[in-house]
Amino acid sequence: MDQQTVNTVRAGGGDVIPSFGGWSGNKLESSCGSAGELAAAYQKVINAYGLKAIDIDIEAAAYDSPTVQQRTVDALKTIRANNPGIKIYITFGTGQNGPDTSLINRAASSGLTVDSWTIMPFNFGGNGQNMGTLSVRAAEGLKTAVKNAYGYGDDEAYRKTGISSMNGVTDVGETITVADFRTILAYAQQRHLARLTFWSVNRDRPCTGGGADTCSGVSQSAWDFTRVLAQYRG
């Protein structure tokens, strides 16, 4: 992260939440040889930027490895113990009816509480379908998984979940519209989700020829998607 950018965001009344991991590249969760080493790597970044929250985006081979899952859970338990009040978010993929539950169950059985289990409801075969409706369906599956793993009631389970969507044309050709974002916003407001975000602000502008890293690939005005989710207050 760029310290000057962080300072600018904070001066404007906001804050930053760095995301560790992702779909591709070298990931700390896989590269570190132990939970202690991984926790130390997280802590170094927390200390450098005075962070109040971190997001662990665990996907692909990292998610599929029970060893990496457990290493991540154990490292986050250390972070939780050593940083009172820090928010811990875990972001991961999902199917249309909800996510795989292995990491949620592993965390619960290991005694790790997470402030938001956040799904990414896209790249899951939604081509030609209403992605707002599918996102809500997946989020309901997430709520059930979190409820069952931790023994929460419905309201508490909703408040421990979140949605990280994608604006415009996805990697597999699904189309998420501004109207879909309004559907997702209404659901989040009704259920008081812990987190509502999207990938990504730098795509929140129109272009032709499909989505890319710098545009959405759909008809829109600049910042249309951001304006919708910016209405969320929890």
Would you call 146 helix, strand, or coil by DSSP? helix
Instruction: Report whether 54 contacts 42 (CB < 8 A).
Output: yes
Instruction: Report whether 164 contacts 170 (CB < 8 A).
Output: no
DSSP strands (E only) in the chain: 19-22, 53-58, 87-93, 116-120, 161-166, 168-169, 175-176, 195-199
Q: Look up residue 203 and give its two tokens.
A: 């795509």
Q: Across the chain, how many H-helices and E-strands are there?
A: 10, 8
Helix (H) or strand (E) run with residue 180 in it: helix 178-191
Whether 59 sits among the annotated catalytic residues: the reply is yes
Active-site choice (29, 59, 140, 174): 59
Crossing angle, helix 35-49 and helix 66-82, to 10 degrees? Answer: 50
CA distance 157 to 179: 26
Active site residues: 59
